[in-house]
Amino acid sequence: MAKKNLDWQKSMQLKLDYNNMMADYVGIEQGFTDQDINSNKKLVDKACKIVKENRGKGMMCWTELPYNQKEIVADIISTAKNIKKKFDNFVVLGIGGSALGPIAAFQALCHLRHNELPKKVRKAPKLYVEDNVDPERMAALLDVIDVEKTMFNVITKSGATSETMAQYLIIMDILKKKFGEKAKDHIIATTSEFKGNLIKLAKEEGLKTFYIPDGVGGRFSELCPVGLLAAAVVGIDIKELLAGAAYMDKLCKIKDVRKNPALISALFQYLAMQRGKNISVMMPYADSLKYIADWYCQLWGESLGKAVDNNGNEVFVGQTPVKALGVTDQHSQVQLYREGPFDKVITIIGVENFRSTVEIPNGCEQFPDVSFLSGHTMNELINTEREATEYALTTAKRLNHTILVPEVNAFTVGQLLFFFEMETAFAGAMLNIDTFNQPGVEGGKNATYALFGRKGYEKTKEEMDNAPKKNGDYII
Ligand code: PA5
């Protein structure tokens, strides 16, 4: 699916710099050694084997998304073309894995003020991703969009998520009142082909439908129609996104841990967890990648945060993912990262070439503390600050590594997404857990169903009714 030649692809390959995970740089108490890498060969080989054997099967069908969607991609591109012609707004209704990927790709690959650009410059609909059931937010959305010029995309794999189905009910009601039978021309459903209510409703209503493959879990679904439709609508080159994922996949198939970026990164995270480093900070130094950190938080947190291992033993593993933004959070969180507990691994994402260059002009010569900035660019400033933070963390003996993105484009973002997905799969295999389930999320969903009186959840309701009542003395 690649458009560009191999040399260009090579020049766009992400680099993982793990120097600052090593004892030579952060000291022997915190850092790892070559011996740590070598002595864990069995663990690494086993993780590789598990991932290899499960590729394209069970809940690992996401590994094949870069390769098996030719017809779907064609359908998405032609659907997006029609949407672009007819509509000014594209609104995603979804939550969790059905929202975080579309948000991340939009922020990374569109103009950072896309929705504010004049229509002529934007050349694509505005995108809104509604991933909450805050009534004020829904009301605010309806204040700013003209429903007549809006295409909605309801996305839920299970076809049952209360938040998304509530949004569906609200929007469908509005559409039907306004357009009657033509309501269906304003809403596309993306869901499981076989399970859940949304597919049944979509068939009843005659909605255009895209499917989320069975073996692709929500948080691994950005590269299927969940993410690809919204991306294509706002003008993202989705073939390049998939080509980038395929490129990274090749690297992640390498058995030698020192040449496989996702594998070595997973090993370090695993070893760090064994040493009680239970927080994983994701800190891109680029506004365009800000929401990649949000997407990563779901991927890492939901996949690795597990109570039991594959043998049924209680393990309570996982790292709490924390999102940060460079340089913004240097003035907020970095104090803690540098001087707080030794409980974190910090992943920095740097961009080598930004898509804009902004020069810092001369001025304020009477103040040398200000004028030293003149003659430089903001590009130099942000990357210098990134290097300075790496240095400051390293001298404070804090584990950190950096992923360098040559430039933010569809090909590199595809690599980035696939890198984190593979890293998660390898880390889960090392932890010997089910990386792809989410019983904790289901617990919350089921409790909501019970409280809302949904049929079939009477037992949960009874359990909740019998739970200890809140003590008023503890509420002040
Ligand atoms: O990763 C997951 O599977 C979940 O977090 C889901 O993405 C989230 O709960 C939304 O589910 P659904 O797409 O079924 O509405």
Q: Which atom of ligand 1 is nearest to the CA of 219?
A: 1
CA of 220 to the centre of ligand 1 (A): 10
Residues of the chain where predicted confidence (pLDDT) is lower than 70? 1-3
Query: Ligand 1, residues 62, 158, 295: which to mutate, most atoms within 8 A of Cβ?
Result: 158
Neighbours of 342 (CB within 10 A): 15
Residue nearest to atom 8 of ligand 1 (CA): 96
Residue nearest to atom 15 of ligand 1 (CA): 156
Query: Could you say which DSSP state residue 32 is in?
Result: B
pLDDT for res 443: 82
pLDDT for res 322: 98
Show the ligand 1 pocket: residues with CB < 6 angstroms. Answer: 95-98, 156-158, 161, 164, 217-219, 302, 438, 441
CA of 188 to the centre of ligand 1 (A): 18
Q: Residues 305, 318: contact at Cβ < 8 Å?
A: yes
Name the H helices within 145-217. Answer: 162-179, 197-205
The whole-angstrom separation of Cα 92 and Cα 104 is: 13
CA triplet 303, 221, 446: central angle to 5 degrees?
A: 60
pLDDT for res 3: 54
Query: Ligand 1, residues 92, 216, 441, 448: which to mutate, most atoms within 8 A of Cβ?
Result: 441
Q: What pTM does this model have?
A: 0.96
Q: Residues 345, 269: contact at Cβ < 8 Å?
A: yes
Query: pLDDT for 251-287, tens place per residue?
Result: 999 999 999 999 999 999 999 999 999 999 999 999 9
CA of 98 to the centre of ligand 1 (A): 6
Residue nearest to atom 4 of ligand 1 (CA): 218
- For residue 110, give both structure tokens: 């569109």
Nearest to 264 by CA among 23, 49, 65, 36: 36
The whole-angstrom separation of Cα 229 and Cα 93 is: 13
CA of 435 to the centre of ligand 1 (A): 14
Residue nearest to atom 2 of ligand 1 (CA): 218
CA of 386 to the centre of ligand 1 (A): 34
The catalytic residues are 302, 331, 445
Residue nearest to atom 5 of ligand 1 (CA): 96
- For residue 344, give both structure tokens: 């974190």
Query: Ligand 1, residues 59, 62, 92, 98: which to mutate, most atoms within 8 A of Cβ?
Result: 98
Q: Which atom of ligand 1 is nearest to the CA of 196?
A: 14
Query: Ligand 1, residues 95, 163, 168, 195: which to mutate, most atoms within 8 A of Cβ?
Result: 95
CA of 334 to the centre of ligand 1 (A): 32
pLDDT for res 432: 98
CA of 173 to the centre of ligand 1 (A): 24
- In our burial notation (b when 16+ CB lie closer than 10 A, e otherwise), range 51-78 reads beebbeeebbbbbbbbeebeebbebbee
Q: Which atom of ligand 1 is nearest to the CA of 155?
A: 13
pLDDT for res 1: 44
Domains and CATH numbers, the chain: 2-57+241-431 (3.40.50.10490), 62-239 (3.40.50.10490)
Residue nearest to atom 10 of ligand 1 (CA): 96
CA of 217 to the centre of ligand 1 (A): 7
Q: Which atom of ligand 1 is nearest to the CA of 217?
A: 3
Non-local CB neighbours of 408 within 8 Å, separated by 6+ positions? 108, 109, 286, 288, 289, 351, 354, 355
